[in-house]
Structure 1
Amino acid sequence: MSNRLLTHLRHVDLAVPDYDKQLDFYAGVWGLTKVTEDSGISFLAAEGSPEQYVVRLRRAEEKRLDLISYGAASPRDVDALAERLMAGSVQLISQPGKVDTPGGGYGFRFFDVDGRTIEVSADVEVRQHRRIEEKESIPVKLSHVVLNSPDLNKTREWYETHLDFSLTDTLWHPRMGEAMHFMRISNQHHSMAIAQGPHTALHHVSFEMRGIDEYMRGSGRVIRAGFTKVWGPGRHTAGDNTFTYFLDPHGNTVEYTTELETVDEDTWHPHVYDFSEPDVADQWGTANPMNELVAKESFNDVDRGCFVAPPV
């Protein structure tokens, strides 16, 4: 896809009222590494990832999604995307320029169609990272992010039009109709998905583990630590990836996964999967049933950050 200006997902930034508990969770039981912390903002890296950080936590009175950050190949591509967005009447929060976070770089921010803050950057310094060893049950990298939207197809079309995302697969339900679109910017099955929800919110953030054993060991560690397991362990059909979903201390859903499918973009045709079929939700049949209570947790709270840029 030569016209794509985005390359990959960099990080997800969260504002949280209970900052200390959140930091203990992500830098402790979840297995991320605190890179730096200053004045109620912490940057957390995945040991196997070249990204400077994959999660940023900010102390705030209201819970919100601060921003989602994507990479671009070069400053030229950053400038080209900014020009394209302005021509398409997308509201920019900042003009392309120096990025003042760990690793630096060149980038800018803008609002998506639902009011989320999106950041795109290039020339970010590569973090010294390492190979995750056998039985080491910590995240290798950030895998993907899933977003709730009250208008599933409006959001999908915006990302296709302005950011060159491609549809990979769709989940459909006999009562709900279309329930989720899996979207990609590379041969990875999805770096983002859009879920039909009652309001704009974060659905979940997913972290890639080294393999099945590490994924299971990590899931067990979080269960033993007493955090709420929402759904799993199991294996989805769309994406063919494993899943176990948990709630962080402030009610955001986070996922351990592994073996997310890669696709041949030249030959791929999107599937429509009937989500009421048990094998679509979980090929293995090991997860607790997907029901309204599980779905409700993924709706999350109404995002208070829509069309309000984060202060930092």
Structure 2
Amino acid sequence: MTDTKAAHVEGTHTGLHSEQGARRGEHPGRSRNPVIKVRDIAWLEFEKPDLMRTEAFARAFGFHTVLSSPTELQLRGTEPGAPCVIVRRGTRSRFAGVAFAADDEIDVLRLADALSAPTRALPESIGGLSTDLVDPSGVPVRVVAGTHALPPLPAQEPLLLNTGRDVRRINATQRPRRVPARVQRLGHVVLQSTKYRQTLDWYLDNLGMIVSDFLFFPGQRDRGPTMSFIRCDRGATPADHHTLALALGPANRYVHSAYQVADLDALAAGGEYLADRGYTRSWGIGRHIQGSQLFDYWRDPDGFLVEHFADGDAFDADVAPGWAPFTASGLSQWGPPVSKDFLGTDPRSARHELISMLSALRDDNEFTARRLVGLLKVATS
């Protein structure tokens, strides 16, 4: 543990969100003196060759289009703010980076100075200032401030529910239509890294993020965590259980991103709309354990995994990290068994995953042979 890390937080675990807290000497899940503290995730960037196909899926998934040109697509939710997804035309489909929002431009300048990184004005359509960084896994990371706030759009209201003897819907039926679930906002992104610990510390030390939950490979807690669910530190103001999740794996890659919708009915009816149009569900519907979200995962036409979610946890800065084993059965409280597509063990991706594992074992990183054994246990545990 570096001297920039806070002292261990043993004894401060509330037990409210995980059966286990940290043991003495384990990673504290936060930095003692971060450079800045980002307040939220801003947007994700992708490159794709077919923007018309991308926009068709985006509309079915529940996004609203801000900008549609032959070279760029900007997508947003109903909440005010900047676009939450930016897609540029490219020769191949790839994840191109993540942007986080700082409180103000002073924070952007402070971070840029600390990391000897340049700053630049963002395009007029978005506005504001950015410093462009690269995390230890090679993922482009922008930290931005001063962006234009798009006005709110009409929201999809949660349904009025009768629960037991609490009867609020009288002389009225419940008939949610099969329509796209209106995306409210970008919630989080999940990334895989061959340099998990180094990358985790980079986000904690530089962006001031804090860990909500750690997972460790079965039987390998003594070797440290291999996944972390990380939230923004807003002090006494609650933040999403995770804005970023990092996992150790055989490749540096995007895993999935998640977008909030109004409630379970919006999520379920929106899923039926997607299924009716031939899109592929990866896994769902269910409720997660870490974060508690209702979830439903889909594959877009380029193979990227995207999630509708509702009813996620919100923690303030006082909640200490929970610790739990990383198992397939531990990914949900209820719902169908986790799919091979979601785990990356179906025949379509198995060969690619095997090549990634063999390649990672030849490189100098944290994905060792023993870690491989632990990862293989996840899918069957």
Name the TM-score, length of structure 1 as normaliser: 0.85
Which digits, 9 at most, give the CA deviation of each residue in 1:191-223, with x for residues without a partner? 000122221111001000111221222222222
Q: Does 1:50 align with 2:80?
A: yes
Would the aligned equivalents of 1:5 and 1:81 in 2 still touch at CA under 8 Å?
no
> 2: CA distance between counterparts of 1:291 and 1:74?
42
Match of 1:296 among 335, 344, 350: 344
Aligned residue runs from structure 1 range 91-240, under 5 A: 92=117, 95-134=118-157, 137-174=181-218, 178-186=225-233, 187-240=239-292
The alpha-carbon deviation at position 68 of structure 1 amounts to 0.7
Residue of structure 2 equivalent to 1:6: 38
Residue identity matched to 2:192: N
The alpha-carbon deviation at position 52 of structure 1 amounts to 2.6
In structure 1, the residue corresponding to 2:344 is in which secondary structure? helix
Match of 1:33 among 51, 58, 64: 64
The alpha-carbon deviation at position 137 of structure 1 amounts to 2.0
Match of 1:18 among 39, 50, 57: 50
Would the aligned equivalents of 2:51 and 2:70 in 1 still touch at CA under 8 Å?
no
> 1: CA distance between counterparts of 2:341 and 2:126?
40
Residue of structure 1 equivalent to 2:359: none
Residue of structure 2 equivalent to 1:69: 99
Residue of structure 1 equivalent to 2:297: 245
Which digits, 9 at most, give the CA deviation of each residue in 1:117-176, with x for residues without a partner? 111111111101135133572111111011111222221112112221211102233177
Would the aligned equivalents of 1:18 and 1:250 in 2 still touch at CA under 8 Å?
no
* Counterparts in 2 of 1:297 and 1:108: CA distance versus 1, 3 Å: farther
Residue identity matched to 1:36: L
The alpha-carbon deviation at position 73 of structure 1 amounts to 1.3
Match of 1:273 among 324, 341, 346: 324
* Counterparts in 2 of 1:149 and 1:130: CA distance versus 1, 3 Å: same
Would the aligned equivalents of 1:40 and 1:59 in 2 still touch at CA under 8 Å?
yes
Name structure 2 gaps, 5 residues minimum.
Answer: 1-29, 158-175, 234-238, 357-381
Q: How many residue pairs end up in the alignment?
A: 289
> 2: CA distance between counterparts of 1:294 and 1:133?
28
Which protein is richer in strand relative to its size?
1
The alpha-carbon deviation at position 276 of structure 1 amounts to 2.7
> 2: CA distance between counterparts of 1:65 and 1:242?
25
Residue of structure 2 equivalent to 1:59: 89
Q: Does 1:283 align with 2:313?
A: no
* Counterparts in 2 of 1:75 and 1:141: CA distance versus 1, 3 Å: same
* Counterparts in 2 of 1:277 and 1:64: CA distance versus 1, 3 Å: closer
> 2: CA distance between counterparts of 1:12 and 1:32?
14
* Counterparts in 2 of 1:23 and 1:176: CA distance versus 1, 3 Å: farther
Residue identity matched to 2:92: E
Aligned-residue CA RMSD in angstroms? Answer: 2.4
* Counterparts in 2 of 1:79 and 1:16: CA distance versus 1, 3 Å: same
Would the aligned equivalents of 1:212 and 1:258 in 2 still touch at CA under 8 Å?
yes
* Counterparts in 2 of 1:297 and 1:227: CA distance versus 1, 3 Å: farther
Name the TM-score, length of structure 2 as normaliser: 0.70
Which digits, 9 at most, give the CA deviation of each residue in 1:47-79, with x for residues without a partner? 2x2123111111111222122111111111111
Which digits, 9 at most, give the CA deviation of each residue in 1:225-280, with x for residues without a partner? 221111111111101111111111111100000111011322x12111223373x3
Residue identity matched to 2:323: V
Would the aligned equivalents of 1:68 and 1:118 in 2 still touch at CA under 8 Å?
yes
The alpha-carbon deviation at position 46 of structure 1 amounts to 0.9
Name structure 1 gaps, 5 residues minimum.
Answer: 87-91, 303-312
The alpha-carbon deviation at position 190 of structure 1 amounts to 0.8
> 1: CA distance between counterparts of 2:76 and 2:200?
29
* Counterparts in 2 of 1:12 and 1:132: CA distance versus 1, 3 Å: same
